[in-house]
């Protein structure tokens, strides 16, 4: 099969949940003997690659403007898919999905993956929210097949688009923990004596709540926030100012590879205070290292099925402060750590996810 992929900023090592999803999934599909071509957005690409892990890469124009970049890029990518002679075009996320009718008009067979109701994100204005809802609906109605990554999203598609969809979870590989500590030492951190959050600097990730709660705890451990903003704005700048006012809060910027591996390998607690998620890959990554999680009680996080002590009331800074203090004082047994790792290994296995995706392609063809 010839599979063309769009809807992502690109791979490899470009920050984002959809980007991580594509980076893990498509090399496995190539290993199964299929051709994959993936369209990257030029503003996010800092290396000229024509191929990565067997995937053919093509860098297409997109304006680096959050309101239109996905739609413009997807339009160009669909034309590229048609020229390439794709058997299937796989479009990720509901913003790009607004172009599904155009792809169908060109005679392409279309699979979409709905990664979540992005219109719930606070960064979007009224017009952008309308466009995202329209993308969700047009994609859900006109795509040949729809993949969802959680039961929450499956219900949305059933209610709004009056059709059934295919539940295929996100996945995460089980890593070998890093024994190195050179990077965390360079940040002034001690193993097992810091908590970590990994997120983009946008309002719906709730990092401002985390900073407020952490400042109230008085804990003698550091808070590390790994991430940054795709587009500098007033919120991201104010978040950085707030973090830098406390010397025990460490901002790393976007990191990947060994530095991120070290941070996950030696962290005591992982925190995800978000208001909105599809299925949070950063949480699955943290669980794959066996880290004690603390996450907001939004539907997508609840669906993961963690212990009740791993949740706090969304947007409730006092409850977050209380839970941070309680969890920090708990001893983490090896049994608990291994339970989390095995939970991810069994439920969010990329090899199984690749098989499910290829079987859906074959059914469509």
Q: How far is CA 147 from CA 56, 91, 157, in A?
A: 23, 10, 10
Question: Looking at residues 101-130, what average pLDDT do you find?
Answer: 89
Q: Are residues 116 and 216 in the same domain?
A: no
Measured distance CA(45)–CA(26) in Å, rounded: 18
Average pLDDT over residues 56-69: 90
Q: What is the pLDDT of residues 159-212, one digit of tens each?
A: 999 999 999 998 999 999 999 999 999 999 999 999 999 999 999 999 999 999
Average pLDDT of the chain, as a whole number:
94
Asked if residues 169 and 150 have their Cβ atoms less than 8 Å apart, the reply is yes
Q: What is the pLDDT of residue 118?
A: 78
Asked if residue 269 belongs to a domain, the reply is yes
Boundaries of domain holding 302: 182-346
Residue 296 lies in a domain: yes
Give the pLDDT mean for 36-52: 93
Answer yes or no: do 159 and 22 share one domain.
yes
Cα–Cα dist 265/270, whole Å? 11
Which residue's entry shows tokens 């900023």?
Answer: 9
CATH of the domain at 106: 3.40.50.2000
Q: HSE, CB side, 13 Å, CA atoms: give it for residue 364.
A: 23
**Residue 121, domain member (yes or no):** yes
124 and 145 co-located in one domain:
yes
pLDDT attached to residue 64: 80
Please tell me the pTM assigned to this model. Answer: 0.81
Q: Where are the beta strands (DSSP E) in 73-193?
A: 88-92, 110-114, 145-148, 166-167
Q: What is the pLDDT of residue 47?
A: 83
Q: Are residues 339 and 224 in the same domain?
A: yes
Q: Check whether residue 124 and residue 163 sit in a common domain.
A: yes
Are residues 118 and 233 part of one domain?
Answer: no
Instruction: Clarify whether residues 98 and 44 are in a common domain.
Output: yes
Q: pLDDT value at position 240?
A: 96
Q: Is the pLDDT of residue 15 over 90?
A: no
In the prediction, which pLDDT does 277 show?
85
Model confidence band, residue 281 (pLDDT cutoffs 50, 70, 90): confident
Q: What is the mean pLDDT of residues 156-161?
A: 95
Same domain, 107 and 223: no
Q: Please tell me whether residues 219 and 87 are part of one structural domain.
A: no
Tell me the three-class secondary structure of 136-166, residue by residue. Answer: HHHHHHHCCEEEECCHHHHHHHHHHHCCCCE
> Which of 100-104, 117-121, 256-260 has the weakest average pLDDT?
117-121
Q: Is residue 177 part of a domain?
A: no
d(CA 205, CA 198): 9
Predicted confidence (pLDDT) per residue in 208-235, tens digit: 999 999 999 999 999 999 999 877 889 9
In the predicted model, is pLDDT for residue 121 greater than 90? Answer: no
Q: What is the pLDDT of residue 35?
A: 98
Find, among 3, 8, 37, 40, the residue nearest to 21 by Cα.
Answer: 8
Convert the pLDDT of each residue in 301-342 to its tens digit: 999 999 999 999 999 999 999 999 999 888 888 899 999 999
Domain assignment present for residue 334? The answer is yes
Query: According to the model, what pLDDT value does residue 228 have?
Result: 93
Average pLDDT over residues 103-117: 96
In the prediction, which pLDDT does 94 show? 95
Q: What percent of the chain has pLDDT over 70?
A: 99
In a domain, 176, yes or no: no
pLDDT band at 80 (very low <50, low <70, confident <90, very high): very high
What is the C-alpha separation between 200 and 177, in angstroms, rounded? 24
Choose between 142 and 68: higher pLDDT. Answer: 142
Q: Work out how many domains the chain is built from and give that number.
A: 2
Kindly tell me if the per-residue pLDDT of 122 is higher than 80. Answer: no
Percentage of the chain lying above the pLDDT 90 cut:
85
Residue 133 has pLDDT above 80, yes or no: yes
Looking at the fold, whether 134 and 9 belong to one and the same domain comes out as: yes
| 85 and 151 housed in the same domain | yes
Q: Are residues 160 and 215 in the same domain?
A: no
Say whether pLDDT at 120 is over 90: no
């Amino acid at each position: 099969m010839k599979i063309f992929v769009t809807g992502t900023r690109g791979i490899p090592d470009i920050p984002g949940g959809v980007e991580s999803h594509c980076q893990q999934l498509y090399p496995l599909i190539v290993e199964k003997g299929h051709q994959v071509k993936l369209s990257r957005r030029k503003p996010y690409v800092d290396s000229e690659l024509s191929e990565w892990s067997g995937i053919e890469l093509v860098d297409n124009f997109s304006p680096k403007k959050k309101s239109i970049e996905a739609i413009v890029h997807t339009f160009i990518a669909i034309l590229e898919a048609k020229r390439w002679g794709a058997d299937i075009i796989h479009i990720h996320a509901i913003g790009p999905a607004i172009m599904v009718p155009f792809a169908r008009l060109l005679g392409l067979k279309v699979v979409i993956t709905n990664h979540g109701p992005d219109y719930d994100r606070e960064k979007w204005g009224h017009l952008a929210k309308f466009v995202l809802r329209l993308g969700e609906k047009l994609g859900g109605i006109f795509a040949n097949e729809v993949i969802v990554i959680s039961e929450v999203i499956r219900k949305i598609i059933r209610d709004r688009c009056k059709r059934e969809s295919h539940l295929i979870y996100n996945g995460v590989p089980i890593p070998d923990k890093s024994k190195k500590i050179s990077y965390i030492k360079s940040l002034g951190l001690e193993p097992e004596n810091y908590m970590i959050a990994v997120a983009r600097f946008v309002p719906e990730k709730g990092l401002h709540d985390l900073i407020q709660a952490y400042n109230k705890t008085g804990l003698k451990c550091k808070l590390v926030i790994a991430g940054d903003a795709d587009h500098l704005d007033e919120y991201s700048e104010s978040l950085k100012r707030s973090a830098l006012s406390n010397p025990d809060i460490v901002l790393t910027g976007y990191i990947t590879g060994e530095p991120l591996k070290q941070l996950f390998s030696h962290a005591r607690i992982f925190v995800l205070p978000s208001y909105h998620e599809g299925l949070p890959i950063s949480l699955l990554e943290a669980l794959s290292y066996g880290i004690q999680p603390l996450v907001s009680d939004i539907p997508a996080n609840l669906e993961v099925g963690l212990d009740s002590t791993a949740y706090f009331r969304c947007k409730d800074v006092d409850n977050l402060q209380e839970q941070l203090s309680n969890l920090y004082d708990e001893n983490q047994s090896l049994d608990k750590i291994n339970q989390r790792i095995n939970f991810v290994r069994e439920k969010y296995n990329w090899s199984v996810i690749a098989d499910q995706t290829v079987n859906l392609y074959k059914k469509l063809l």
